[in-house]
Amino acid sequence: MGVDELAEELYALPPGEFIAARDRAAAAAPRGERGAIRALRRPTLAAWAVNLLVREDRSRTELLLRLGAELRTAHQQPAGGGRLRELIGQQRQLVAALARRAGQLTADAGRPVSDAVLREVEDTVHAALADPDTARELARGRLTRAFPPPSGFGVLPEATVLQLRPPSAAPAAREPGSGRRTAGGGAGAEGAGTGADDAEGADGRERRASVTDITERARAQERADRERRQRLRKARGEAEELARAARGSAEEATAAERELASARRRLREAREQVHGLTEELRRAKRSLSAAERTERAARGPAQRARQAAERDRKRAEAARAEADRAEADRLAPDPARPPGRRGRRRPGAPS
């Protein structure tokens, strides 16, 4: 990419992005082009706005230059006051429409400018109408600064349209000392003059139509931009509402996720507890089984022991009863002995 093509891209950027983009381009450019690239100056906000205006629609610039040329021509004609007033009216309409459009373009580019900057845009357009050199610089779309408003149009030898349209036929020369025009020195000069007047009138009508067309287009574009901004505001409002709803949903989702994590933690703890209790129950069941086996093993001997104890108790009771009977028999009197006589106790007999 050459320096000229690069400049076209750079001067379309907002001023705040110009320096960084230029320096990056210079660093990546061939060595022979770096100096020319670094020499490109950052535009002011007003100059950038005018550049956007020129780049959007070149036909506006063409009309601006044609109107400037006719204004300068009218300033040179002492008897052209009526026409000059008409051109100045068209100039005001066009300049106001262009300034408004420049403000819209900068806003669309994300860098709206102040009213003071827009007044600089108007001053620059006025300067281009007054001076063809300024008009040429404006037409390139690479302004780096705004121009001050002109104090008045200078007297130029002839109007310059910057080769934006083919030159019209030159006006017929006047004969020295005569008020009659000649065309090629022959008769019919009056017809030639009438044809030139008709061409001038057609050109004026074409210019007025162009100014009106651009003004109407600017107004239509303003309405479209206003509607677009309204739609954009509505869309942003809806987007913000959806964003708020999304944030609410996200908060609810976060809370639900936290609750889910807590529930999962509690479930894990419950499972661990169940696992522990299951192990404890298993151990208790093993202990119960062992105790039951021990009890069953001890049940037979205990029963036998109880039975033996019961037999021994019964034997003891029988022995005791027998002893009691023997004692009773010993103490009872013998009916075969006479009363008062006792028999001699035999040795070894129970007393």
Q: What is the pLDDT of residues 264-299, one digit of tens each?
A: 999 999 899 898 998 889 898 988 989 888 888 888
Cβ 142 vs Cβ 161: under 8 Å: no
Q: Give this prediction's pTM.
A: 0.49
Cβ 76 vs Cβ 156: under 8 Å: yes
What pLDDT shows up at residue 58? 79
Closest CA to 100 of 9, 18, 216: 216
What pLDDT shows up at residue 103? 93
Percent of the chain with pLDDT over 70: 72
Which tokens belong to 26?
A: 């210079």
Hey, which residues does 183 pair with through a beta bridge? 186
- Helix orientation angle between 189-331 and 58-76, rounded to the nearest 10 degrees: 140
What pLDDT shows up at residue 68? 87
Q: Which residue has tokens 């002893």?
A: 323
Range with the poorest average pLDDT among 123-127, 129-133, 150-154, 308-312: 150-154
Q: What secondary structure letter does DSSP report for 145?
A: S
Confidence tier at 102 by pLDDT (50, 70, 90): very high
Q: What are the C-alpha distances in Å from 130 to residues 76, 321, 322?
A: 12, 160, 163
| Cβ burial 171-185 (10 Å sphere, 16+ → b, else e) | ebeeeeeeeebebee
Looking at the chain, list the stretches that DSSP marks H as alpha helix, in order from N- to C-terminal side: 3-10, 15-28, 31-38, 45-56, 58-76, 81-108, 115-130, 132-140, 189-331
Q: What secondary structure letter does DSSP report for 186?
A: B
| Amino acid letter, residue 24 | R
Q: Is the pLDDT reported for residue 30 higher than 90?
A: yes
Q: What is the mean pLDDT of residues 292-320?
A: 90
Question: Rounded to whole angstroms, how far apart are CA atoms 206 and 190?
Answer: 24
Cβ 123 vs Cβ 147: under 8 Å: yes
350 Cα distance to chain centroid? 127
Confidence tier at 167 by pLDDT (50, 70, 90): very low
Confidence tier at 69 by pLDDT (50, 70, 90): confident
